[in-house]
Structure formats: structure tokens, C-alpha cells
Amino acid sequence: MDEVKVIDDQKRDLSLNRPTKRDTTQFIVTQLGGEQYGIDIKYISNIIRMSKITRVPKVPDYIKGVINVRGVVIPTISLRLKMGLPEDEVTKKTRIIILTLEQHESIGVLVDEVKEVVTLDEDHIERMGYEKDDKERFLSGVGKADGKLISLLDITSVLAEVVDV
Amino acid sequence: MDTSQYLDIFLDESKEHLQNLSDQIMDLEQNPENMDTINEIFRAAHSLKGMAGTMGYKRMQTLTHDMENVFSEVRNGTFKVQPGMIDILFKSLDALEEYVNNIQQTTEEGTNDNQDLIDALNSILKNNGEVVAGGSAPAAAAAPAPAAPPASADGNAKKERWQGIKVTDTEKMLIDKAHSEGLKVYGVTVYVEEACVLKAARAFLVFKALEKLGEIIVSAPTAQDIEDEKFELTFSLIFISGNTADEIKEAVKSVSEIEEAFCAEYTVAASATAKPAKPVETKPVEEAKPAVTAPTPAPKAVVPAPAAAAPAPAAKTSASSSASSAKPAAKPVVNRTVRVDIEKLDNLMNLVSELIIAKNSLISATAADESKGDNGSVNEQIEYLESVTTNLHESVMKVRMVPIESVVAKFPRMIRDLSKKLGKKMELYMTGEDTELDRTVVDEIGDPLMHMLRNSADHGLEPNDVRVANGKPEVGSIFLDAYQDGNNVVIEVRDDGGGINVEAVRNKAIERGTVTPEQAETMSEKEIIDLLFLPSFSTAKKVSDVSGRGVGLDVVKSKIESLSGEVEVKNRFGEGSSWIIRLPLTLAIIQALMVVIGDEKYAIALGSIQTIEDVLPEDIKLVQAKEVIHIRGTVIPIIRMDKVLEIPSRGDENKKSKNLTVIIVKKGDKQAGLVVDELIGQQEVVIKSMGKYIKVPKMISGATILGNGEVALILDTNALI
């Protein structure tokens, strides 16, 4: 769980800066294939190391199964498969990010790696237009930080599709 | 006075009283002469009136008052119960129920005066029990005359009620001792205002005030009964004090909501003479009083008069005393309960679940350590922990369990009404009302059951003449049986009517275009019956307002499935049909058998498992391209779990030579054999929801967390069969 602690430290650092900036959003930057994706920190309740995922029969393949997080059974999906990338390869860096959208309803998403936390203000976020192609329909915009481009995931639309299935 | 904080209690109690009234009136219809029933009705109506009055619901109060008057006359033997009267009483009950529902929704009783019902009730009174519209003449004849004596008796008794207190020898000694010490002994009678909501609290304050001035020797009713609010509006006591009667009176009256207090010096002689009078005198006074003070037209106020005036016949006195003796017996049960928010129980349940998971982890941790050496004492403690957690779990589950009685109690009345409405004679027989189910399930099961009963009454039972022609008893029977079966509770709604006409359903399905004629040909009887559960499928030839609108059975089915239950239909054409609802007993923790299939672990509820068999591969036969085995004379279909669960095969070519482990599970009287790879053992598992983000297949009923923190899925064998 030291991973989480690091992030907590970063969070604290950032929160010290917060009063000076307005309209900023914090994102956790994750690696997925060759690209970096940002997830709005307000949805994230936990980040855990890869643990045993129990397969659930007869569900779409991007639903990897269910895991136990402190006594709660949480379904876990593969963002890679969801976004049409090749199947996950579990490494030491693989993490499960636990997202909580509504009260007590959580879902885990599998990512290759959790990199850092960035704080972006609106000026550094380029919102997506209405015409999104297949891969882009889960994106809410693109953020620029330190010269890198980070695709910002629209978590609600990612999960909305899960619910529909 | 602000009564809003009592609204919940008022609603709860009103519903209880209404249900009680309904039951008793049903009973009265069968046994019009039963005095106990009449007394019970009177009392329930009276309490209801008092409560409605206190809460300021005038319309409700007026209606109950008039009902009470009718019962009062029946009780006095002025007239007898007649069928027409019962109908009016039931209508009045419905009206009361409507008031209560209105109050529940809006806190207002609504504006319906139900004047017609009040008039009808009054005309019963006027016509000495005859249900005649508009009659009036012979009405008041008897009434005004006896009105005077009770008034005086009333006034008389009001002051001297304390004289009715029986004094034991010990108390006499205390009195004598007080006299010798120069203290005075007083008899005190206190009247609480009728509008007083917390009578017991007021009485307590009176006691407290008096205890400052002296010593209370004895009270009537007893202090315990007063504390439990088992008194009408008055209580009396004998009191030793050095103060004057007026001072005592002042002290009592300083307590708010005390209407009147009487205090006079007590003599043993006075009580001795009053003693024999007590049983006859006190009771009628209690009844007379509320009637006199109730804000209603004059003629009604005198109604209870004969009771007080006429020396009550022996039978009546015993009836009322037996009724009042029944009350104390029932009351403590009510008083010892606590209403708890179901959410708090859920929370408790979750904690118990966590505890069980922790215990299971402990077990697997020590099992792993076992090789290192002897840890007998640890094992002992774990066993102890296990028994404690099991008991704790059972206790918490029991707290959540309520008898289905609360739901089914209203059905006899419903069937009675249906019987009248449909013009069919029918009788409802219920068994197993005390079968317990989880609270949440009980709350939800009422509507589906009601629907099925209506179905039985409307479609199931044939008209009386047809029944007779078919050689059946004229009166149709509907049965509602509830019982526990393993981990399930079964509720069966059965009738001895015509059963389901499968051909009619088949034709209807074709007509409706639900299935094609070709499809219909090949469908089995069961499949045809299942069509009934489709939305908008009703075979009733004529639409009645009882059933037959085509909504219903699909709703019933989905409701029951949402409670993880299921419906099954057994049909004997010409003899009747039975609808069997099977519901899980608990929803949270089960005993399960852990099995291994492929590389995965699954839990199977122990309740559904019959036996576990070792089967040779060559014993498996093919019947209609389905695998079956013969076990002790029965043919049981085999389900290959690894196929069903799409488990990647672990490439065991040796499997063919090996014996198969087959778990025989049952669902009702159907069986199936599940082929698994390995058995792990029995374990208590906590059922966890898998969240709403994934839609799990029906054969998975949930997940559980194993001792090592892994998640295992729970198989719903009912969905597999």
C-alpha cells in the first residue's frame, strides 16, 4: 500500500498550492499502452496493487471479474479492452484504481501503471468537440502538463456503458 | 397541543386496532352471540375513538363513536347482530382505513364525512338493530328513561372510587399504625383529562407529588399497571399523610392534564361496604364517561346508559372481566418490544458478516500454521469464537424475522368481500401464519399474495352452480399454506376450482400472436402455463374489477424474483391449481459447500444439496441427447458445471478414467446432478452483492469473501435446474 501513501503525500503538497489557483482539477495520470490517461481524482477512492480477480462467467470480456477490497466485492473492468487496446499484461506496475461514482457503488479499473498526480487549470484543458470517434467517446478532453498530452477520461461515460451491458 | 410526535405511534396502533376490528367482526359474523368478541370489538373501537380524538381527527372520532354505540347496544343485549349490520360495519372500517391512509400520507384525515355511514349506524341504533333506511319512531323510547340513574351513579362513583380498593391485612396494619402515629389516612381518586396522551407519565407525576407529602400504601390499578398505562382515565390510591385533604388535592391538581382529584379521609368500613359493589359498578362507569363527554349529538350520549343502570347480568360481568383479564396477558409482550430502524439492523448484520469473515481468515491462518507445531489452545478458542459468531448471527437474523401473519391477516376479510362481489361462495383456509421471513421480504410479499388469491377467487373457482354440477361442494375452498422447507420458505396458494385450462391458454396465445400455432403445438403444458406470466396475458373471458385486466401475474413473478424467490404452478385440470412461491429464508449468510471447478472455487448453498455421489463415467447415460444418471431408482439429469460456467478446461485427459463427483441438488421436487472437480468442505459464507455495474448471469446469486481474502461466487442452483 506504499503506493497510495506516495500519492497521499503528493495530494497534500498540491493541496497546499490550491488556494492560489482557481478552477483547477486534479488528475491521476495512468499509463495505458503507449498513452497517458488522466482520471479526475474526485472519483478515485483507492488505488490497490493487482490482486486475485475472480472471473465471473458469461459477462463481456472487458469485465475481468470481481475483487475484494476491505470486505466489499467490487467488479473490475479492463480499461484496455474497453478502449479497444490489446489485452492487459499483468506486471509489477499494474494497479487497480477503485472508482466510486455514487454512494457505496464502486468499480475497479485495471491500468498498466499509475504515474503521478497533475493539477490542471481550465486553460490547460482542451475540451473535446461533439464529434468523437470510437476511441474518443470516453474522453472529456486533452490536458497539457509539462509539455505532455494527457487524455482525460470521462469516467461517467465509461461506466455508463458498463451499466448498460 | 402538539401531537405530531405521536403520529407514528397513532398510525401503528390505529392499524393494529383496525386489523383487530376486522378480524373480530369476521368472527362476529360467524358467531353473532359471542360476548367475548363483542367486548373485544367494543374495546378496539373505543381505543380507536380515544386515539383519534386525542390527535384531533374529528371525523374519524365521530365515525368510531357511532360504531362504538352500535356495539354497545349489542353488548347490552338491546338487539342482535344481523348480516346487514356487519356489512355496514365493514364499510365503516373501510372508511376508517381511508382516514388512516390519508393521515399517513398527508397528516390530514381528509374531508369525507362519511355521513351516509354515520346515518346508517344511527338508524341501526334507532331501529333496535334493524337495518332499515329512514326509520325513526321506536328509537329513543328506551333511551331517555334510564339516562338519569347512570348520571347519578356516575357522579357518585366518581368521588368514591377509591373505596373500591381492596385492603390486605398488611395494609390494614399500616393504616392502623399510621392512625396510632397521629397521621391521617386518605382515599384519593384522580381523573386524568381525556385528551391526555401520556397518562402513565401524568400518573407518575401525581405519585411523585404525593410521595413528597406522605406514603402511598396501595393503588388501584396497581402501580405496575399504571406504569404500563393499563388504566382508563382514573386511578385511586390510599395514602398516609400528615397534611390535610385539601393540600393533597392541591398537590395532585398541580400536575397538568389532571381533570379532577377527590380526596377524603379513608375508613376501613367504607371500603368494606364498597367492595362487593366494585365489579359491577366500575366497569360501566368507565364506558359511560367517554360517551358522555364526547362531542356528539345528544341521543347517542345515553347509549351506554342501560349498562350502568341495569344491574348487569352475571354472564355479562364475567364476559367483561374475562375480556379485561385477557388484556393484561397480551400487553406486556407489546411493552417489551422496541421499534428499531431496519437500517440499524442492516448495519449490525454487516458487522456480524465482517466478524464471520475475520473468523474464517483466522481459521485458514491457523490451518496453515498447523504444521509448525501444536496449537491446541488456539484451535479451542477458535472453535469457541465460531460458536459465538454463529449464535450472534442467528440472533441478529431472528431479530429481522417477522411472522407472515402481519401480511396474511387481512386476507380472510378480502376473500369475504370477494365472495360477495363475485357472488360465489368461498372459504379461505390458512395455515402457517406464524412462519417467519426476513422483514424486507414480508413487506414485499403482500401484494403478490393478494393477487394470487384474487386470481384463485375469480378465475380458479367455478361459479357455485357449476361446482355442484361437477359434483364438488358448493362452497369453494382457497388454501393459503406457509411452511419452511430447508433454507426456503414456501407459500402455497391453492384452490379446488377448475384449474388452468391449458388448451384455452394455448388458443389464447395463438390468438394474441404470442406464439405461432406451430410453436404452440410443440409446447409442453408447463411452457404453456409459463405464458401466463407474460405481461398482458389474461385468459379471463370477461374483465372484472377483481382480476382479469392482464396486469398481475407478470408483476407477481417479477416481484418474487426480485426477492430471489420463484413461482411454480401445479395444475390439475378440473381439480384446481396451486401456485407455489418459494422464497429464501435469509438474505445474508448461508451455510455453503465449497467446491472447485476447474481452477475456480464456488459456493453452493447447503440447503439445496441433497446428496453427493461418486459416479463412474460409464454410469452416465444419454436420454434425448441429455446426460442423465440413475441413482436409487430416479433418473437425474447431469449438468457439467465447467461447461455451464465456461471454465477454461485445465486439460485433464485423465478425467475420463476418473470418477466424477456429482452434487445432487433439488428444487421443489426436481433434481439435478452438478458435476464438479473437487469438494473443499462446508463453510459459513456471507453473501455479498456484486454491485450494479455488472449484470451477473442468473446462475450466480452473489459472491462471498473467503478466509484468504479471495472472492468466490455463489451458485444459484435453482437457476440451473
Has B455 been annotated as catalytic? yes
If pLDDT is split at 50, 70 and 90, which confidence band does A29 have? very high
A9 lies within 8 A of chain B by CB? no
* Choice among A140-149, B115-124, B409-418 with the minimum mean pLDDT: B115-124
- d(C-alpha B437, C-alpha B653), whole Å: 47
Cα separation, B398 vs B393, whole angstroms: 9
Selecting among B68, B287, B436, B444, the annotated active-site residue is B68
Residue B325: pLDDT above 60? no
Instruction: Specify the range with the lowest mean pLDDT, choosing from B258-272, B503-517, B623-637.
Output: B258-272
> Is B575 a residue whose pLDDT tops 70?
yes
- Predicted local distance difference test score (pLDDT) of residue A2: 44
Provide the 8-state DSSP code for B701: E
Query: Is residue A51 less than 8 Å (CB to CB) from chain B?
Result: yes
Neighbouring CB atoms inside 10 A of B372's CB total: 7
> What is the average per-residue pLDDT within B493-511?
84
Mean pLDDT value across residues B502-509? 82
Query: What mean pLDDT value characterizes chain B?
Result: 75
Angle CA B422–B427–B429, to nearest 5: 140
**What is the mean pLDDT of the segment spanning B109-131?**
75
Q: How many helices (H) and strands (E) does chain A have?
A: 3, 11
Task: Find the mean pLDDT for residues B624-628.
Answer: 88
**Confidence bin at A96 (pLDDT 50/70/90):** very high
Average pLDDT over residues B274-280: 40
Asked if B688 and A51 come within 8 Å (Cβ–Cβ), the reply is no
Mean per-residue pLDDT for B87-93?
83
Q: B675 vs B153, B162, B328, CA distance in Å?
A: 84, 80, 59
Q: Which of A68-72, B379-383, B388-392, B643-647 has the lowest mean pLDDT?
A: A68-72
Report the topology of domain A2-164: OB fold (Dihydrolipoamide Acetyltransferase, E2P) (2.40.50)
Determine the pLDDT at residue A95. Answer: 93
Residues of B at the A interface (Cβ-Cβ below 8 Å)? 353-354, 357, 600, 644-647, 688-697, 699-700, 703, 705, 709-713
pLDDT of B602 strictly over 90: yes
Given pLDDT bands bounded at 50, 70 and 90, which one contains residue B190?
A: confident
Distances (CA, A) of B160 to B39, B147, B266: 26, 21, 10
Whether pLDDT at B312 is above 70: no
Asked if A56's CB is within 8 angstroms of B695's CB, the reply is no
Nearest-Cα distance to chain B for A133, in Å, is 24
Percent of chain B with pLDDT over 90: 6
Q: Is B65 among the catalytic positions?
A: no
Q: Which of A71-75, B111-115, B254-258, B270-274 has the highest mean pLDDT?
A: A71-75
The band of A133, judged by pLDDT with boundaries at 50, 70 and 90, is: low
Phi, psi of A103 (to 5 degrees): -60, 130
Using CB atoms and an 8 Å cut-off, which of residues 101-130 of chain A contact chain B?
A: 105-107
Q: Tell me the range of B48-57, B376-385, B535-544 where mean pLDDT is highest.
A: B376-385
From the list B646, B688, B711, the residue facing A58 with the nearest CB is: B646
Q: Tell me the average pLDDT across B260-272.
A: 66
Provide the β-strand partners of residue B446: none
Confidence of residue B594 (pLDDT cuts 50, 70, 90): very high
Query: In this predicted structure, what is the pLDDT of residue A30?
Result: 92
Q: Which of A118-132, B409-423, B498-512 has the lowest mean pLDDT?
A: A118-132
Model confidence at B133, pLDDT cuts 50, 70, 90, reads: very low
Asked if pLDDT for residue B657 goes beyond 60, the answer is: no
Read off the DSSP letter of residue B257. T
Inter-chain touch B646–A163, beta carbons under 8 Å = no
Query: Quick check: is B46 catalytic?
Result: yes
Looking at B20, B102, B360, B455, which residue is catalytic? B455
Kindly state whether A71 is in contact with chain B, defined as any CB-CB distance less than 8 angstroms: yes
- Domains of chain B with CATH codes: 4-150+290-335 (1.20.120.160), 152-282 (3.30.70.1110), 342-399 (1.10.287), 404-584 (3.30.565.10), 589-720 (2.40.50.180)
Report pLDDT digits (tens) over B143-176: 333 333 333 334 444 556 666 666 777 777 777 7
For residue A114, what pLDDT band results from cuts at 50, 70 and 90? very high
Query: Where does the pLDDT of residue B421 fall: very low under 50, low under 70, confident under 90, or very high at 90 and above?
Result: confident
- Nearest of B377, B534, B694 to residue A107 by alpha carbon: B694
pLDDT, mean of residues B547-574: 74
Chain B residue with CA closest to A70: the answer is B709
Question: What's the pLDDT score for residue A18?
Answer: 45
Q: Checking phi first, is residue A146 left (phi over 0); if not, alpha (psi -120 to 50) or beta?
A: left
Cβ atoms within 10 Å, residue A145: 17
Q: Which range, of A129-133, B328-332, B521-525, averages the lowest pLDDT?
A: B328-332
B513: left (phi over 0), alpha (psi -120 to 50) or beta: left
